[in-house]
Structure 1
Amino acid sequence: MRIYDLHCDVLYKMLLEPRLSFSDDKTLDVTYERLVEGGIGLQAFAIFLPEDRVPTFEMVEEAVHAFHTSILSRPKMVFVKSREDLSRAEREGGIGALLTLEGAEGLMGSLEYLQRAYDLGVRCLGLTWNYANWAADGVLEERRAGLTLKGRELVARCDEIGMIIDISHLNEPGFWEVLEFGKRPVIASHSNAAAVTGHPRNLSDEQIQAVIVRGGCIGITFVPDFIGGGQGIADVLKHLDHVCSLGGEDHVGFGSDFDGIDEYLHGLTHPGQYVKLTEALHKHYSSEQVEKFLHQNWRRFLEANLPE
């Protein structure tokens, strides 16, 4: 069973502490050994810039350098920039590594830097984090202004070059503007259902259905505050059930947010424990559905939206 996980923040920790090792470092949730243990077929690695530093494109490049030296240097890791890379990782039994950018701050308002990020292999862009930046307002920004004029230009340019837009962290006005000013499918790499747990980071039924209609994909995340309930694996399935009830069986997967969280679900604290989630899925869904949730839906989306 190959698992695709569309969000983790291990690169953020590496920016904060460059001496961290991707191999068997107990201060990290995501390590090479745990990806192997968990049967991970693809892991997305987010570039999230430390909030206590002035964001620059040089910091984005610093994260890309750490990605190459610490992560891609491991024997089974395959840098996924294209459909062919995705297929090669599967053929060779490797672990695909997808590079994403969480927040446009480091692009410094420049569409040229957007192109440079794409040239470096970044294939997915989350426009903002929880607050405002030059492109958009996040879910916790009180003014709720959506996209800026430059943000609209950014969305249009992402469409042109093939940069996938991630609407996790974007506020609802901005969400609808992304769908208005962009025409390609979008993803929510790590967001849950607001109807199940009313957290600002979760998506309304209308948003979930809009992502589905556009041909996008939603990654159910393991952040306890977003999950609610008793905060165990059974509560993850409630969000999965809800997305499926809205027509999302072919448009939902997982985006753990490991290394971006300080609290954990019971029994699901690192990628090596995906086996426990897999066991729970098999008790509630058909084998065909489990395959969709664990990798096929994300696989199909990436096959359709990565360059050849």
Structure 2
Amino acid sequence: MFQGNRVVDGHADILYRMGHDHLSFGDPDSGLHQSYEKLKASGVDLQVFVTFVEPALSSGEQLYEVFASLKRFYDEVVPKGISPVLSAADIARLRESDSNPIFGLLSVEGAECLDRRISVLDGLYRMGIRLVGLTWNGQNCLADGVGESRGGGLTQFGFEVVQRMNQLGMVIDVSHLSVQGVWDVLETSSAPVIASHSNAMRVHAHRRNLTDDQIRAIARSGGLIGATFVPPFLAEKDASIDDVMRHIDHLLTIAGEDAVGLGSDFDGIDEGPVGLRDGRSYPVLLERLYRTYGDPVAKKIAGESWLRVLETVLR
């Protein structure tokens, strides 16, 4: 059913849990939602590895933690055969490969570590970061997150970061960003904009989910929304794979089939919804997608839309 199709997971906090909980990527019994063995079993061809840093740390401490996450990626993940994605040419290699290697793309979630210096962004790019979520839930030097009651948009530095990311060929992620911040990014960016791990507000009212207007605008930018498995974003209680499908269905209705992907947030949550507890459950979701929507729609959701965005944005 899935032969020849590519699967992309646009958001997982594997590197954070490796450091925070002292877990090994190579240990199948480590407790990671996406250990190496689980990632292989998941069928995911391209995993976005997130560097998440506790917002309470100083900017200097945050930058140190980002470096520590990057070291874990290059010292522990890449030696397992995970191939870093640095350019559109790497996406072409993924498409053309018949040996089923797993690729990894590095991202930053919450750009507090930039500390109002574009030079830090340039440095992170040189170290392999290709996707940046501008904020987490709180305020930083770029913008307000969804947890800030005042709901401010981009700061002057935030606008500069968006423009520089466009120049470098970095993907801009608006998950966690305030409502006004999302609109500021969409009005400023010359490249497609994504929400790597967000769901539909119309299906379940949670501050981290997107309104229909936001969903449409992200789709118009050429970007996508990565439907996420975070239980509180899915339903009030007892979230399951059925709720994931409900959100995907609504996203398809509003955004269209070219603008919906997946962004699990595995290892950033205590456990996944019923039926999607860890990476080994991915084939169950993929089977549901193909059975419900058929090919080519399911193929786009599974990974094709992510690959399209990456080919468009990356240099």
TM-score, normalised to structure 2, is: 0.93
Distance, in Å, in 1 between the alignment partners of 2:263 and 2:207 is 17
Q: Tell me, yes or no, if structure 1 residue 58 matches structure 2 residue 71.
A: no
Pair 1:93-2:97 in alignment = no
Q: Which of 214, 225, 234 in structure 2 is aligned with 1:207?
A: 214
Instruction: Give the SS at the match of 1:212.
Output: helix
Q: 5 Å matches for 1:64-213?
A: 64-75=70-81, 77-90=82-95, 91=97, 92-213=99-220
Contact 2:202 2:212 in 1 (8 A): yes
In structure 1, what residue type is equivalent to 2:85? V
- 1:303 and 2:311 aligned: yes
Quote the Cα distance in structure 2 between the aligned partners of 1:29 and 1:3.
17
Are the equivalent residues in 2 in contact too, given 1:16–1:50 (CA < 8 A)?
no
Q: Give the aligned partner of residue 6 of structure 1.
A: 10
Match of 2:31 among 6, 10, 27: 27
Alpha-carbon contact 1:128-1:170 (below 8 Å) kept: yes
Q: C-alpha distance in 1, partners of 2:297/2:185?
A: 30
User: Quick check: 1:59–1:106 contact (8 Å CA) kept in 2?
Assistant: no
CA distance in 1, matches of 2:301, 2:188: 29
Residue of structure 1 in register with 2:226 after alignment: 219
**Residues 230-266 of structure 1, C-alpha deviations (whole Å, 9 max, x = no match):** 5111111111111111142111010000000114210
Contact 1:11/1:66 (<8 A) preserved: yes
Which residue of the other structure, out of 40, 56, 71, is the alignment partner of 1:36?
40
Please give the per-residue CA displacement for 1:253-305, whole angstroms capped at 9, x wherever unaligned.
Answer: 10000000114210101111101111222331112211111011111111111
Partner of 1:283: 291
Equivalent residue pairs, number: 305
For 1:292, give the aligned amino acid: K
Structure 1 residues 117, 246: closer, same or farther in 2, change over 3 A? Answer: same
Q: What is the identity, as a one-letter code, of the residue corresponding to 1:86?
A: I
**Any conservation in 2 of the 1:131–1:138 contact (CA below 8 Å)?**
yes
> More displaced, 202-211 or 241-250?
241-250
Distance 2:239 2:41 in 1: 23
- Partners of 2:208 and 2:116 lie apart in 1 by 24
1:181-223 deviation digits (Å, cap 9, x = unpaired): 2221110000000000000000000000000011001100000
Q: CA RMSD in A?
A: 1.4
